[in-house]
Amino acid sequence: MWEKWLVGGLVVAGGVGWAALGWVQHKAKDPIAIVRDHYVFYPAYRGGVWSEGACDATERAGCKRVTYVVPVMGCGDVRFDWSVFADGDEDLGYAYRGATPRIDEDAYALYAVVGADARFMDSPALGKQVPAKCVVK
């Protein structure tokens, strides 16, 4: 009798394991998750809003537009744009399109970039005073 319960428990545990694996693989293909894996915003700029939409018609197939909007002192709301595209069965690739307005991102400690070797590349402005006026390019 206990063998039936054991087999039933193993079947349920196996199903839960496969469902969890499917969820993890699905999240790995999420365009916002791809950008967030490569751009880590510092605490002062983590209160922004992430969104995803369609790319321009001129972009290649499978492209998604990812934006992050956050207030930056002296500049108002700044929108960061990325294009995220599928590369077949491999990980998704991305291209950073820049910020609007075109601020000098080196003047603000906005984010760190996570390199392919999983090392953080900090902003050159980290630890410096935030500019009083908006610094544009």
The yes-or-no verdict on residue 91 having pLDDT over 60 is no
Q: Which residues contact 83 (CB under 8 A, 6 or more apart)?
A: 55, 59, 63, 64, 65, 66, 94, 95, 97
Strand, coil or helix: 51:
strand
Which range (17-21, 27-31, 84-88, 118-122) has the least confidence?
17-21
DSSP state of 123: -
pTM above 0.85, yes or no: no
Please give the mean pLDDT across all residues of the chain.
82
- Residue 13 in any domain: the answer is no
Instruction: Examine residue 54 and state whether it is found in any structural domain, yes or no.
Output: yes
Where in the sequence is the domain holding 86, given as residue range(s)?
31-121
DSSP bridge partners of 113: 39, 121
Q: What is the mean pLDDT of residues 98-127?
A: 92
Could you tell me if residue 7 is inside a domain?
A: no
- Summarised one tens digit per residue, pLDDT across range 25-71 is 444 469 999 999 999 999 999 999 999 999 887 777 788 999 999 99
User: Tell me, what's the pLDDT at 21?
Assistant: 43
Q: Is the dihedral of CA 112, 66, 24, 16 positive or negative?
A: positive
Q: How far apart are CA 85 and CA 1, in angstroms?
A: 53
| 3-state DSSP helix/strand/coil % of the chain, to nearest 5 | 30, 35, 35
Count of structural domains within the chain: 1
In a domain, 4, yes or no: no
